[in-house]
Structure 1
Amino acid sequence: MKEHKRYISVVHQIRDMIQLDRLSAGSRIPSERELSERFGVARSSVREALRALELLGLIETRRGEGTFLRDFRDHHLIDLLGMFILQDGRAISDVAEVKSWIEADSIRRLMSLTNKEMLHVYEHISAKYNKSELQTFSHFKKEIVEAGGNQLYVKIWLVLNDFYYADSQDTVALTHEKISDFYHYLQSEDTDSLLNLLNEQA
């Protein structure tokens, strides 16, 4: 099983543990070692799962004290994201919608760049492709979101993307032709074509 799928499984196990042990806001979460032993998984997988939960604001780490469950229901954004982790089931279509919204807004941010800045983004993406560091459309979309410059978008998108592909794998190969199309549409401020390019590979 791939590492990202392992940690998604651990996230689900933590969710079940919270419900089974009747933990509430302020309750202490077992340590990495304790969770690793309880679930029978590597500590690295537990660490990634806890990192994702902390990223979403569902838990917090207090230096010298441990990790605690937060009252995320007071925060509408965190509640929206957290329900996919802590509640039963996952509305995968909603995950896809939020993920696509972040991608679309990142595209709009890129369209406000100067021609020189757009060229820099294109050259950066092309260089990574030529080094075989970008192989799928997920990798490509990640670069677009990062280039948009909103770090919160990046963090949320990474978590949502992992959940979106938790039970499958992105196998849509990226081509340099698509990267060139992206740059052409960006230069001509063709929003519809840019969004269609991404949505075709959703």
Structure 2
Amino acid sequence: MFEKLSLQPAFNQVVEAIEMKIMRGELSQGDQIGTEAELEKQFGVSRNTIREGVRVLEYLGLLTRRKGRRLSVDRPKSNLMSAQIKRTLLMQRATYRDLVEYLSFVEMASIENALQHDNAVLFSALRENLTQTRMSMTEPETLARLDMEFHTTLARATENAVMVMAYEPVGQLIYASTQQIFEKAPIGAQRLYDAHRILLEALEAGDRDKALSWMKKHILDFEKGLLGVGVNFDDPVTSKYWIDKEH
């Protein structure tokens, strides 16, 4: 299945060789690629090299052990990929300006796209989120998480895999930005609740113009909230409020 490597490789060359076949579609989810011993013979490298490469691929979610020692191709876990992107956003020092500009495009697309699908499940999830928000008006950390979940749920309703994968890690930036607003400007909690309530009502009514109009107002209010607590838009989003675990 795999060709021998011309040089005694490091384990990352094994990772790249297997990953490439998966990316090219030569290997699909569920396909078995054998045991570590069989891979050792195919690649012509030591068992330790194979073992280290397999560990990386298992961590990435590309390989799994379903039956005994035999390895098979798996699908990467979305939460793992999101976590990796979130760390990259932090290390790349994404700014508040980057975030607002991104939301100005993506949130509009989420509204447009969500209105084109059967949204019974979406409305139920957003209604529950709204109920929890109303009960958490004096809890900045909880409010920030619920705000992040509201918008992430809306993005998922588009049923667009690319949009969902792009948006979920950005939810971390939203969380890190809004928590400081709720801490320093208590009025932000009521404004958040009102905006989410009206957005949901517009979506349920299929009122495209109202939904788009209120999303624009919501983003503008978010921008004003950041200015109100003294944020410099060219500064990186603070890591003080970064979530260390998945919710």
Q: Which band: TM-score by shorter chain? A: 0.3 to 0.5
TM-score (norm 2): 0.38
TM-score (norm 1): 0.45
Larger radius of gyration: 2
